[in-house]
Amino acid sequence: MMKKIIFVFNILTTIIFTYNLFAVDNVKITVKTDTNLVKVGERIGLTFEALTNENFNVFFPEIKDSIGKLEIISKSKIDTLIIKDTILLKQTFEITSFEEGSYSIPSFIFSYENKQDKILKTISSEAIFLSFITIKVDTSQGIKDIKAPFEFPYTIEEFLPLVLAIISFVILIYLIFFFIKKYKNKPKKEILKYDITIPADIEALEALKLLENERLWQKGFYKEYYIRLTDILRTYIHRRYSINSFEMTSFEILDSLKDKDISKVAIQILEEIFKISDLAKFAKYQPIAEENTKCISLSIDFIEQTKDISQIISKNDNEVSK
């Protein structure tokens, strides 16, 4: 009977002292718990709050690993919330005990000061009482074995991530081997051969005449026709201006020629040829007959305008001297 009275008394005291509010000046201190009666090992939330304004500094008590016989499981940093002219400081703890009994959270001392006079003052909370109880065991019943875990059948959702991972891995390996094989076996771009004993302009003009006689575009081989045409021009530009035109795009060739001794008209002619050629080679464009014959004529004009005159003069001088 006496134990029951003590137990009820503990519950009443914990309810009475669950929440403490203290106010002085413009500082209000609150110390509270979310409950006061739990089973052994369960956690109780403990909260410190200070309500003030910008004219005051408030200092919370420093709590380490335990509060008396109560163990601190976790604690937060001091959070600051500003609402208009009011400042709310808050810190939370989780405490527990692994032994049955009644415990008290002692009085905590909070410090505060007015920012103007810097005089440090204190305010104290009152104790809060907690109770930890154990679960009663019915000893009249026999001891039973622990039940084995219940096994659920596997579902598609459980296997799906593994299946997707395997599929992704297989695709990745395939792509790696595909690109290695592709770039390993990729033929190097062939540099066209030419005869250094023949002047660049004469060799190019003869190649253009030969291309025209083959009548490729008349047979429907537009792409092959323009590949041959641009290769002839690339070879000529390489020999005439010492440009690595075989490894350049049409735009890069035109850009490189701007620094060379070449007229704007010649560059415009070459640009027009490249424009039609690139469409035929890369966009499956089929130029009309007029465009095909025009590109041959423009190519001849480009070579005639840009050929190396110094070689012709030197050749004529040699003939005169003989």
Q: Which residues of 252-282 are buried (b: 16+ CB within 10 A; e: fewer)?
A: ebeeebeeeebeeebbebbeebbebbbbbbe
Domains detected in the chain? 2-133 (2.60.40), 200-309 (no CATH)
Higher pLDDT, 178 or 114: 114
Long-range Cβ contact pairs of 242-248 (< 8 A, separation 24 or more): 246/189, 246/191, 246/192, 247/189
What's residue 178's pLDDT? 82
Q: How far is CA 8 from CA 37, 66, 129, 137, 271, in A?
A: 11, 27, 13, 21, 101
Residue 208 is predicted with a pLDDT of 94
Confidence label for 185 from pLDDT (cuts 50, 70 and 90):
low
pTM: 0.42
Residue 193's pLDDT is 73
Among 125, 111, 116, residue whose Cα is nearest residue 67: 125
Q: What is the pLDDT of residues 154-181, one digit of tens each?
A: 777 777 888 889 999 999 998 888 888 7
- Write the DSSP assignment of 247-294 as a string of letters: GS-HHHHHHHHTTSS--HHHHHHHHHHHHHHHHHHHS-----HHHHHH
Max CA-CA distance within the chain? 144
Nearest Cα neighbor of 92 from 32, 132, 39 is 32
> What letter represents residue 71's amino acid?
E
Mean pLDDT calculated for residue range 53-59:
93
Spatial contact of 238 and 244, defined as CB atoms under 8 Å apart:
yes
- DSSP, collapsed to helix, strand or coil, labels residue 305 as helix
